[in-house]
Amino acid sequence: MTHESFGARLRSAMDTRGPLCVGIDPHASLLASWGLPDTIDGLERFTYTVVEALAETVAVFKPQAAFFERFGSRGVAVLERAVADLRAAGGLVVMDAKRGDIGSTMAAYAEAFLRKDSPLFSDALTVSPYLGYGSLKPAVDLARESGAGLFVLALTSNPEGAEVQRAVRSDDPARRTVGATMLAHLAAENAGESPMGSFGAVVGATLGDLSDFDLDINGPLLAPGIGAQGATPADLPEVFGAAVRNVVPNVSRGVLKEGPDGAALRAAAERYANEIREAVGA
């Protein structure tokens, strides 16, 4: 059975609803700012308020799995329902779990989030390639089979990331950095795909000029850092250059701080989507 690819669904969703990904990050301080307790009840009220307010208008959602997992099985149950409700309303879900391992363990992680009949099946999954890009093969294979996608950590927005991602490979005759190597692998995965491939990179919007890197991987670029981390929609063309049309800008606190009022959440998301659309020429 064939499925419409994640890349095709993503392009359509961003063109229709606007190029915005809203992170769903129910950390304790955000719950408190909403007047909610740091309990399973607070988690439920926060999550379902976001889903109800935004599921039918925002293109992409990125729930951070850790903030649900910390509540154990009941927290994961909230995440399962949120994923199902978001997808039923036409939103795409990128599960931010940053999984990475080898062999059968990587395959099990992939099955949790990328197998069609999994309770946590998501449109895409963030993964860590730092056991070697080849360690991701079980996730790549299952994503292709399920019509899902991956976002591979490449050039992340946290300052510590540079010590790994910008390290030069002594085993590479071209002396590429680790981050550049990941981008090259993804470009190979996406070769020939239209309107774009399903295998994307995580590239921080706060990193400034990235012209030393080939970001044209014919796939999506998940870009955290807009809003609370200091980047703005207007920064996107400078950071991403010719690849800016494939950027999936993520905003979390910039939208979520407007809760718990649903209308305020919708207004903030619409404002960011419009600013991003104008900045990238969508």
CA dihedral of 119, 21, 97, 82, whole degrees rounded to 10: -30
DSSP class of 244: G
96 within 8 A of 63, measured Cβ to Cβ: yes
pLDDT attached to residue 156: 95
Cβ count within 10 A of residue 234: 11
| Candidates 3.40.50.670, 3.30.70.1380, 3.20.20.70, 3.40.190.150; CATH matching 6-280 | 3.20.20.70
As a whole number of angstroms, the distance between CA 223 and CA 115 comes to 25
- Please state the domain extents for the chain: 6-280
As a whole number of angstroms, the distance between CA 208 and CA 126 comes to 22
CA distances to 44, 159, 226, 270, 276 from 233, rounded to whole Å, are 30, 20, 7, 13, 5
- Token pair, residue 230, equals 């200091």
| 125 DSSP β-pair partners | 95, 150
In terms of DSSP H, where are the helices of the chain? 6-17, 28-33, 40-54, 66-69, 73-88, 103-114, 137-146, 162-165, 178-189, 236-240, 253-256, 262-280
Q: What is the CA radius of gyration of the chain?
A: 18
Q: What is the pTM of this model?
A: 0.97
Active site residues: 98
Q: How far is CA 120 from the centre of its chain?
A: 15
**129-174 tens-digit pLDDT:** 999 999 999 999 999 999 999 999 999 999 999 999 999 999 999 9
pLDDT tens, the chain, 282 aa long:
457 999 999 999 999 999 999 999 999 999 999 999 999 999 999 999 999 999 999 999 999 999 999 999 999 999 999 999 999 999 999 999 999 999 999 999 999 999 999 999 999 999 999 999 999 999 999 999 999 999 999 999 999 999 999 999 999 999 999 999 999 999 999 999 999 999 999 999 999 999 999 999 999 999 998 877 788 999 999 999 999 999 999 999 999 999 999 999 999 999 999 999 999 986
Question: Any residues with CB less than 8 A from the CB of 219 and at least 6 apart, and which?
Answer: 7, 186, 187, 189, 190, 193, 196, 197, 198, 199, 200, 201, 246
Determine the longest span between alpha carbons in the chain, in angstroms.
56
Cβ count within 10 A of residue 244: 21
258 within 8 A of 46, measured Cβ to Cβ: no
